[in-house]
Amino acid sequence: MTINVTVWGENVHERQEEDVRRRYPEGLHGAIAAGLRERLGGNVTVRTATMDEPSHGLTEKVLAETDVMTWWGHAAHEDVSDDVVARVHERVLGGMGLLVLHSGHYSKVFRSLMGTTCTLTWRDAGERELVWTIDPAHPIAAGVPNPLVIEQHETYGEPFGIPTPDELVFISSFTGGEVFRAGCCYRRGKGRVFYFSPGDQKYPIFHHEGVQRVLANAVLWAAPPGGAGEPLRNVHTPITW
């Protein structure tokens, strides 16, 4: 069965910053989508959506056709419509997979799914990040080098204000010595959520083969068998048996 993936991009840095545009001529979303197409080929149909489109490109129709969504945002979290956030949240609870990338930790949708601050500590010195596999049997780690070496990246540090992950797959370290839970799995309602911390706009992370492998594995892991169900709204169910 083909997995329908919608790659959502905030698409602000790419439009405003020359160096980001040079790094990601098709936008970060474009690079993420290209990586998934290259790694997963005919197993996926990948479309992109961005904040500047009507409904941020996330209409009911688009969501109804989406099995797995990826979310990258940073500069404009607060500009994302609460209605769209609710729509995405309900879809995740209904079974749609969600990959939250890097600064997306602070997006409305991730925070509303986690119920916590989702804050972290950070600094940017372009240091080397090593992404270590904690759970070698986890499908998201399949074929990922251990450690996955990212020559230069922004530093994220603990404490990371999240609930205890249902499955912890990766932990990163940085040249300065910080550590970070870089790959975290959650089951929420009928949906699966995977947070992955590499992916700052100032670095060519999404062109990195190992990162692309992680995201491809995560799409396969998060895809609901038989497709996503109806959105789960907060409706009680009388006992029927």
Q: Using CB under 8 A as the criterion, which residues of the chain lie in contact with a copy of itself when the complex forms?
A: 89, 93, 95, 106, 111-123, 128, 130, 132-137, 139, 142, 146-147, 155, 157-161, 163-164, 166-168, 171-175, 177-179, 181, 186-191, 224-225, 232-241
Give burial (CB, 10 Å; 0-12/13-18/19+) of 136. Answer: exposed
3-state class of 157 per DSSP?
Answer: strand
Closest to a copy of itself by CB, 32 or 171: 171
Closest to a copy of itself by CB, 120 or 218: 120
Closest to a copy of itself by CB, 64 or 125: 125
9: nearest Cα among 136, 131, 100: 100
Closest to a copy of itself by CB, 16 or 119: 119
Which tokens sit at 34? 């290209």
**In the bound complex, what is the minimum distance in angstroms from residue 68's beta carbon to a copy of itself?**
14
Cα atoms in the 13 Å half-sphere on the side-chain side of 119: 2
Give burial (CB, 10 Å; 0-12/13-18/19+) of 176. Answer: exposed
**In the bound complex, what is the minimum distance in angstroms from residue 25's beta carbon to a copy of itself?**
30
Q: How far apart are CA 208 and CA 199, in angstroms?
A: 10
Closest to a copy of itself by CB, 34 or 76: 76
Q: Name the E strands within 84-203.
A: 97-101, 121-133, 148-157, 167-174, 179-188, 191-196
Residue with tokens 């840095």: 13
Q: How far apart are CA 29 and CA 164, in angstroms?
A: 28
**In the bound complex, what is the minimum distance in angstroms from residue 22's beta carbon to a copy of itself?**
27
3-state class of 128 per DSSP?
Answer: strand
**In the bound complex, what is the minimum distance in angstroms from residue 148's beta carbon to a copy of itself?**
11
Count of CB atoms within 10 A of residue 183's CB? 29
Which tokens sit at 33? 């989508």
**In the bound complex, what is the minimum distance in angstroms from residue 92's beta carbon to a copy of itself?**
9
Count of CB atoms within 10 A of residue 209's CB? 12
**In the bound complex, what is the minimum distance in angstroms from residue 164's beta carbon to a copy of itself?**
6
Closest to a copy of itself by CB, 29 or 74: 74
**In the bound complex, what is the minimum distance in angstroms from residue 128's beta carbon to a copy of itself?**
8
Closest to a copy of itself by CB, 33 or 223: 223
